[in-house]
Structures are given as C-alpha cells and as structure tokens.
Amino acid sequence: MLRLLVLLLLLAARPTAAQAPLPPVIDWKAPATLPTYLLQQVHQQYAPRRLALDAALASAAGTRAYRDSARARFRRVLGPLPARTPLRARVVGTVPQAGFQIEKVLYESQPHHHVTANLYVPDGRGKRPAALLFCGHEQASKATPSYQQTARLLARNGFVVLVIDPVSQGERMQLVDPGGKFLTRGGTTEHTLLNAQATLLGTNLPAEELWDNVRGLDYLLTRPEVDAARVGCLGNSGGATQTAYFMAYDDRVQAAALCSYVAAGERNLTATGPADGCVMLPGAGAAGFDVADWLLMFAPKPLLLLTGRYDFVDQTDMEAAYADTHRAYTALGQAEKADLFTYDDGHGISAPKRAAAVAWFRRWLGASGPAVAEEATPIALPEATLRCTATGQVGTAFKNEQSLAAIHLAAARALASHRPAYAPEALARVLGQQLGLWPPARGAARLSVVLRDTLRLPGGLALQGLLLRRDDDNPPLPARLLMPAPGAPAPTRLVLWLPGQGMATVLRDSAARLAAYQRQGTAVLLADLRGLGETTDPAAFNDPKYYNQEYRDALLALHLGHPLLAQRVTDVSTLLTLLRNDSRFGQLPILLRADGRAALTALHAALLSPQVAKQPYPMTSAAPAPPGPAPAWAPAIAQVQVSGGPPSFQYYLENPAAKDAYSEVVPGVLRAYDVPDLRRALGARLLP
C-alpha cells in the first residue's frame, strides 16, 4: 500500500504532456540571438568612425573638418526644432541669501509650455559671467541639494546661475491627470514615453529638452547682470547629457563642464544597454556618433570632464573619450583647454567636483576677486521655498498649459489633416522609403533552410521544424510547417501565421485551429519574427520603468537607424522567399495572419511584399528537398488577417502612458502615413 501511495505521488508530481515545454527550433540560447545580432551591427557601424577619427586627429585641418561634419550631422539627427516665440518671462518671487539672491523664474519655451527655473544673482553691480546648470534625474531637480550647492558656490564666486527644471522633473511633470497625479512611475519613464512620441513625429525628446535650454539662455542674455561673452554650462548625469547636446549646438556657450557624463556609444551600449529616453537619440549610431563626438563638437573651447572612479558610468569609457578629446585639442594647438578631473567617489557632482568646476569657470570665464570656498555648513533650501508655481506643477498651475504630450498630439492631428490619399502602389513606395527598405539592396540575399525535428501534437498533427538562414547579416528565423495529412491531396491554400507571442502559444493553445486548417487542405507556416517567441529578450534586460518589454532590442535598432518594425518586415520577406521557391506552395494563395506585436509588421509586409526575384534555396537535412522546379513568379499575399496591435501610430500620442510603443516606432512615420492608410490601401484583401 505504501509503495502504491509513493507511486501515485510521483505520478502526480510529474508534468503532463500538455504542461511540458515544447521543444524549440533554435538549438542554442535563442533569447540572446537578437541583442547579440544588434550589438554586432553596432560594432560594424562604429568601425569606420574609429578609422575616420584617427585619420582626422592627425592634423588641425582634419580635426576641424571632423568637428564641422559632426556638428552638421548632429543638427540632422535632432530634427526640426520649434520656432522662437515670445518667452513671456517673469520673476515670481525672490529668496534673499548671504551674498546673492535666488529669483524664481518662469518662461515659455513654446507657447503655453512653461519652464520653471531658479536664477542665482550675486550682490553688486556690473556685468558678470554666467552659467546654466542642467539637472540630472533627481525628481527634486533644481531643489536637489547637490545642485543647490553647485549653484550657490558659483554665485558666491560671482557667477549668475540659471538652474532649469528639465521636462518631466521638478515642477514640470508632463503626464499628469487634472488633479496633478502622475500617470507614470516618474521622470525617467516620462522621458522615455515622450521620446517615443516625438520620434514618431520626426523629432526626439533630447531635441525638445535642448530647446528648453536654448530658450533659457535666451532669457539669461536679457538680464542686465550677464556678460554675453562669458557664458558657460555644466551638468551632472542626465544634466551632463543635456550639457553635451547644448554646448555642441549653441555657439554662445564659451566654456563647459560635464560630470558623470552619460551618452549612447559603442562601449556603454555593449556594457549596460540603452539608457533613458532623454539620452537616446534615434539614428545616432547611423550618423556615426560615439560618446566623444559631442565633446569634439565643442573644440577648442574650454572643456572639463568630471568623473568618479567608482561611478557606474564606466571610467574606462570616460578616459577613452577624454583621450580622443585631448588629441583633438592638441591638434588644434590648444591642449590646455581640455582637462579631466577624477575623484575617488561615485556618481554625482560631489564637493570636490563642484570645486573643480568652479575653478575651471573662474579660469576661463574671467571671474574677478579671490576664489570663495563652499560654505562650511552646506545649505539646501526646502523644495517649496524654491518653487515657482503655486501648486508645485505647471500642469495644474496654468489653465492653458500645453504639455509635451498635448503638443505632440496637436502636431500629429495637423499632419493627419494634410496627409495625401495614397494609391496602393504609391503608399508601398512611401512605406519602403520610411522603413529604409527602398530602393531594394542590389543582389538578393540567398536563403538556406535547415530541417529540424518534427513536432508531433495530439490528433496526429506533425509540424516540421525549419531554421531559415540568410547569407547576409540578418539573424536566423525559426519556423514550423504543417502540411495536409499523409495521403490527402496537395494543399490548396497556405496560411503564413505570425503570432505576436510566438509559435509556442499557437501550438499550445490553438491546436484545434491547426487541425481545422489541415482538414481544409490548408498548409500552415508558423514563424517567430525576430525578438518574438523563441528569441524574446528576457525581462531581466528590460527595466519595467521603460514601459516596454523589448526596450533593449527596440532602442538598439533605433540607434542603428533600422527600426524593429522594418527588421521584422525583412523577416516576412525571408519567409516569402522560402514559399515562392518551393514548388508545393509557389502558386498557392497566401493568407497572412498575425496578432499582437506582429500585427503592424503584417500590414506593412502585405503592401511591400509581392515581387522579389526568384532564387532557389538549398535545404540541409537527411530529408530530400521538395521535388520539382521552383515557380518563376512571386506569390502576392492574397489576404491579411490581423488582431491586436495599435489601431494607429497616433494611438501612442492619444494614450501617452501606453506600453510597448517602441516595438512599433518608426522615426517620422506620422509625417508620411498612419496605420489607417495601410488598411485602406489593402481594401478587400484585409479580412475582418
């Protein structure tokens, strides 16, 4: 009896056949496939930059040419910036301090879009040097103690200092309900979501943040205390990123200091992956930008890099960026104007780094009088004391406040009202250009197919595993093929099924649908597009604060200038190459079925796919290749059936806290078309 009980317990503990994981097609650690591929592309993209930079830094003329080229490329990557409109600046309060006063400043960088800032004004008369201080990601922003102490030290040394609340920090949260409650988990999430929105419009959040700062300098130069010829800027962490973009763009800046500098480049993308939305410039990799390039754009103006030896910002990367910068300054005959200060601490603008920055500005911006040390007892005023608005948030303080989300949505609606009604052929060309797939590359990639084990499901379903390999740089593609039952007539139709959650979900949950297709004489090709199913990036590599389950892959793709949606359309082309070169399927009508994150890919592919040159492919396995010659024509997708996915790109502007936007982001797409245009062009081919 005891032996029987033990046996029953053991049987109960064993997983059932339905619970057992289905065997994958890929026989290596498949989740690493897409990020590994994307990083390989990053390395390939950066290789010519290193060669060009090394050659340029060998001479002053080469250095100037590289710098000027980088500046021009930077402006292209930034995209269009807003027009200069009235600032409507005003001081709404003053906080007296020993030796200086703090003014509470409001200005509008765009109409009805308020920026909150504190202006530190030293006592006395006459023109003073000035500095803009850009804040990192602390929620308190301008009220953060280390930023207050930096501004106080500069003011005590005779500098007029403007400390600006970045968008989505301090008093400038953008995604709030009418009562002021945050709609997301905080500033870095807002930055990331707003960057996705802006990218769909052909700009980006770093450019919008830059514009706030440009208008801040516009305001600073209206002040009678400020000497326009002696203006510097500095920032820490995300504020250092702002500083780098600002000094590279605005020629009015004469000296700069960056502390715990963050930017997207080859080493940090490899080590830590993409950063917050305010750092990531879509297309920066395609334009050839690495960490040092924004420093080089400032050459040969005085530039100080402040680092912490134990900062999570890689010290080796910072030293390499400084080495390139110093080479550029040396080539220009002004090596003394670039310096690196490293302290044995971590992330942030600590007291030693603040002192080094102030000494640097005193040296190069001509502060008068003896140097003044930091206050013996550091002072940090309460956030409420420095507040510029009555409610603590611009979104609730001003009835007509226009958040960035509102500005984005208005821009999208304006674009939609002027968008042409495309004929299908014209829209296909627009799609190809927008995705970077037109004109087609010369010479079609050759395809080989490796046969994997056959998966047998209850009910007699047998699905042949296929691994599709191209001879170009694209990653392998796993698929499974279901044919009519043995002895049944040849298939009369083919379903190309792209599940958003991967083939395994269909095999586990939709076996009845597969059986029905088989009874109807329909062949089914299931496939996992890159980054879906077997190659899904693990959640551990995608911080939930980014509101995107494939943030790493999507942002690496955008950095490369080749969005994930475009790459997945290429995968569909690979699958169609397989089908049109197999005599069993070459003349069959194809139903393209997709859902979830594969839905938009299917809509694009259905318009882009029809004609690609015939090309036989080899199959490697003990099983023979399908008999007969391949057909001489490419089958068009006869019908499309999609479920899930966003109804439009504009949806992400209408729902600014929506998740997984980056899976669908195509830069500037709303300037060209939207999803309803695809649906109209497909017409009767699109099934309900």
The pLDDT value recorded for residue 538 is 96
Amino acid 647 reads: P
Degrees (nearest 5) of the Cα angle 261, 267, 271?
Answer: 95
Largest interatomic CA distance in the chain: 100
CA distances to 137, 314, 328 from 308, rounded to whole Å, are: 17, 9, 23
> CA 480 to CA 482: how far, in whole Å?
7
Residue whose entry in the numeric block shows the structure tokens 């890919």: 601
Indicate the pLDDT class of residue 177, thresholds 50, 70 and 90.
Answer: confident
Phi, psi of 466 (to 5 degrees): -130, 135
What does DSSP say about strands 522-527 and 493-498: parallel, antiparallel, or unpaired?
A: parallel
> CA 607 to CA 431: how far, in whole Å?
8
Q: How far from the centroid of its chain's Cα atoms is residue 129's Cα?
A: 37
Residue whose entry in the numeric block shows the structure tokens 């939609």: 416
The pLDDT value recorded for residue 16 is 37
- Which domains, and CATH codes, for the chain? 90-391 (3.40.50.1820), 419-685 (3.40.50.1820)
Name the DSSP class of 383: H
In whole angstroms, how large is the CA radius of gyration of the chain? Answer: 29
Selection from 390, 209, 225, 230 nearest residue 302 by Cα: 230
Q: Is the pLDDT of residue 614 over 60?
A: no
> CA 270 to CA 291: how far, in whole Å?
13
Q: Which residues of 444-467 are buried (b: 16+ CB within 10 A; e: fewer)?
A: bbebebbbbeebebeeebebbbbb
Q: Is 191 exposed, middle or buried (0-12, 13-18, 19+ CB in 10 A)?
A: buried
**Helix 145-156 crosses helix 351-365 at what angle (to 10 degrees)?**
30
Indicate the pLDDT class of residue 611, thresholds 50, 70 and 90.
Answer: very low
477 CB-near residues (< 8 Å, 6+ apart):
467, 468, 527, 528, 529, 530, 571, 574, 575
Q: Is the pLDDT of residue 621 over 90?
A: no
Q: Is the pLDDT of residue 234 over 60?
A: yes
> CA 79 to CA 97: how far, in whole Å?
42
For the stretch 256-314, pLDDT in tens is 999 999 999 999 999 999 999 999 999 999 999 999 999 999 999 999 999 999 999 99
HEC per residue, 239-301: HHHHHHHHHHHCCCCCEEEEECCCCCCHHHHHHCCCCCCCCCCCCCCCCCCCCCHHHHCCCCC
Given a contact cutoff of 8 angstroms between Cβ atoms, the answer to whether 427 and 676 are in contact is no
Residues 52-75: what's their mean pLDDT?
A: 98
Q: Is the pLDDT of residue 527 over 50?
A: yes
Q: Is 5 exposed, middle or buried (0-12, 13-18, 19+ CB in 10 A)?
A: exposed
The pLDDT value recorded for residue 458 is 87
> CA 224 to CA 105: how far, in whole Å?
15
Selection from 180, 174, 223 nearest residue 195 by Cα: 174
Name the DSSP class of 648: -
> CA 534 to CA 554: how far, in whole Å?
17
The pLDDT value recorded for residue 498 is 98
> CA 415 to CA 388: how far, in whole Å?
35
Indicate the pLDDT class of residue 500, thresholds 50, 70 and 90.
Answer: very high
Q: Give the three-class secondary structure for 37.
A: helix
Q: Please name every residue paired with 523 in a beta bridge, in sequence order, or none if there are none.
A: 494
Q: Is the pLDDT of residue 482 over 60?
A: yes
> CA 617 to CA 621: how far, in whole Å?
13
> CA 69 to CA 327: how far, in whole Å?
17
pTM, two decimal places: 0.92
Indicate the pLDDT class of residue 20, thresholds 50, 70 and 90.
Answer: low
> CA 104 to CA 116: how far, in whole Å?
8
> CA 236 to CA 150: how far, in whole Å?
10
What mean pLDDT, rounded, does the chain reach? 92
Handedness of CA 136, 552, 320, 342 (dihedral sign): positive
Q: Please name every residue paired with 135 in a beta bridge, in sequence order, or none if there are none.
A: none
Residue 643 structure tokens: 């479920």
> CA 445 to CA 574: how far, in whole Å?
9
Sheet holding 461-470, edge to edge: 619-620, 447-457, 461-470, 477-482, 522-527, 493-498, 590-595, 637-643
Residues 41-52: what's their mean pLDDT?
A: 96
Strands (E), 616-674: 619-620, 637-643
Q: Which residues of 581-608 are buried (b: 16+ CB within 10 A; e: fewer)?
A: bbebbbebebbbbbbbbbbbbbbbbbbb
- Cα dihedral angle (331, 320, 133, 657), rounded to 10 degrees? 130
For the stretch 384-417, pLDDT in tens is 999 999 999 999 999 999 999 999 999 999 999 9
Q: Is the pLDDT of residue 617 over 70?
A: no
Residue whose entry in the numeric block shows the structure tokens 């014209």: 426
Name the DSSP class of 628: S
> CA 467 to CA 563: how far, in whole Å?
23
